[in-house]
Structure 1
Amino acid sequence: MTGPLRLIVFDVDGTLVDSQGDILAAMHSAFARADHPAPPRAAILGIVGLSLDVAVARLAPDLPGEVQARLVGWYKDAYTDLRATTGVAQSSPLYPDARGTLEALHAIPETLLGVATGKSARGLEKLLDGHDLRRLFVTRQVADHHPSKPHPSMLRAALAETGVAPEHAVMVGDTSYDMDMARAAGIAGIGVGWGYHPAEALAAATAIARDFRELAAMLDEMRKAPA
């Protein structure tokens, strides 16, 4: 080992994979079953990254709690059906150069990879298995076990599981929730410019990458910086 152990935690939707087609379709299906107008596209993509119950409450604050709970279930049903119909690779394709970047990072002995996502454990497992990525991540934090982003619980758990100090960790994500979560956990945050929140919304980010190649260069520079 040539340096301290480092941890890179990735968001999933909008960061590693582009799942917006199924997210939008599933949300429209859920709202149709509730006989309620679906929110605009920007509003739906704006809540990606939040735990589903929190996301639905933001999208439909005027609906009773029991209807919001049904919307969560209907969304999950629709999303599962869409994924089963088209397959993971088509419904949630990896962004360009994502796989190569992950493989290269995984090959560095002192670097550990993790995931922090608003997905459920079952949803994350389906996605990682569909892309053969499960083997790359030593810590996987999901909505089932934590408060919704931007609460720092996911990142604190990832640090505890890996034994990595906050100053040697970084969160990579596409939303303000990811960057605010990183700041709350006391770790650096790199925003990505290809996801669901505009770059100007990522005010808490240490830096913003335009593509995976630029992200890889940023992470390499951080790795080589004095500990």
Structure 2
Amino acid sequence: MTGLKLVIFDVDGTLVDSQGDILGAMGVAFRAEGLETPDREAVLGIVGLSLPQAMERLVTGIGAVQRTRLVEAYKGAYASLVAAGGAAASPLYPGIPELLMQLAGKDEVMLGVATGKSRRGLTRLLDAHGLQRRFVTTQVADDHPSKPHPAMLFACLDEVGVEAEQAVMIGDTSYDMDMAEAAGIRGIGVTWGYHPAEALAAATRVVDDTKTLETAIFDLLEDRT
């Protein structure tokens, strides 16, 4: 493997299992608006989208004002839950700490994040896990159109200075894989997250555990497809 390479991760459902905080914060936000809280499947189905787009999926015909109130209520509730629970509230999936350490030990491999989280939400989460310095580029919903628009990935490539063929995108949702495809980046779908494996049709590879993920990353970066 020669030349600089970039491995980009989604966060929720890929690095961390944050469904408890996501479901809890969504319940707080919807109750504050006097709305019935969507069921678990519906909420996890929108994980990965930016919050305004997520709320539009969850509430048919929602107006701009109520959408904004829901978004802000969710952000506040999520921040409180993360602050109260710390790393235990959104634990890293098994094998992720070891995988990140392995990748970080390769001089030619840079790590990045492309997430539907806000900057504040991502910072709190990375700080809770001591991962802030692991990633050389972190792209968030505050600065880009919602996934699956490829803007986040283009920003990752520009910031690190690599071409699309020198990068891989890892995620658990159809939004991640569609975003990767739109950016011309090979996508690796993981099955331990929030979308079923059959939703990851745009992925170059689909893996079930972090050991297989590690192999897939190096296979693709070395073009041994």
TM-score by length of 2: 0.97
The residue type equivalent to 1:90 in the other structure is A
Which one of the candidate residues 84, 90, 98 is aligned to 1:92? 90
Name the residue aligned to 1:145.
Answer: 143
Corresponding position: 1:120 with 2:114: no
Which one of the candidate residues 100, 103, 106 is aligned to 2:101? 103
TM-score by length of 1: 0.96
Shift of 1:67: 1.0
Shift of 1:163: 1.0
Name the residue aligned to 2:2.
Answer: 3
Task: Give percent identity, aligned residues only.
Answer: 57
Runs of 4+ with deviation above 6 angstroms: none
Name the residue aligned to 1:57.
Answer: 56
Deviations 1:41-66 (A, max 9, x none): 11100000111111011111233221
Shift of 1:226: 6.4
Taking the aligned partners of 1:193 and 1:226, their CA distance within structure 2 comes to: 22
Corresponding position: 1:73 with 2:72: yes
Corresponding position: 1:32 with 2:31: yes
Deviations 1:57-85 (A, max 9, x none): 11112332211110111111111111122
The residue type equivalent to 1:192 in the other structure is V
1:167-182 mapped onto 2 (5 Å cutoff): 167-182=165-180
Which one of the candidate residues 186, 189, 197 is aligned to 1:188? 186
Name the residue aligned to 1:18.
Answer: 17
Root mean square deviation, CA, Å: 1.3
8 Å Cα contact 2:52-2:71 kept in structure 1: yes
Name the residue aligned to 1:159.
Answer: 157
Shift of 1:29: 1.0
Deviations 1:66-122 (A, max 9, x none): 1111011111111111112222x1111000010110110011111111000011111
Name the residue aligned to 2:199.
Answer: 201
The residue type equivalent to 1:188 in the other structure is R
Taking the aligned partners of 1:128 and 1:212, their CA distance within structure 2 comes to: 19
The residue type equivalent to 1:179 in the other structure is M
The count of corresponding residues between Structure 1 and Structure 2 is 225
- Structure 1 regions of 5+ residues with no counterpart? none
Shift of 1:222: 2.2
- Structure 2 regions of 5+ residues with no counterpart? none
The residue type equivalent to 1:53 in the other structure is P
The residue type equivalent to 1:223 in the other structure is L
Aligned residue for 1:50, secondary structure, equals: coil
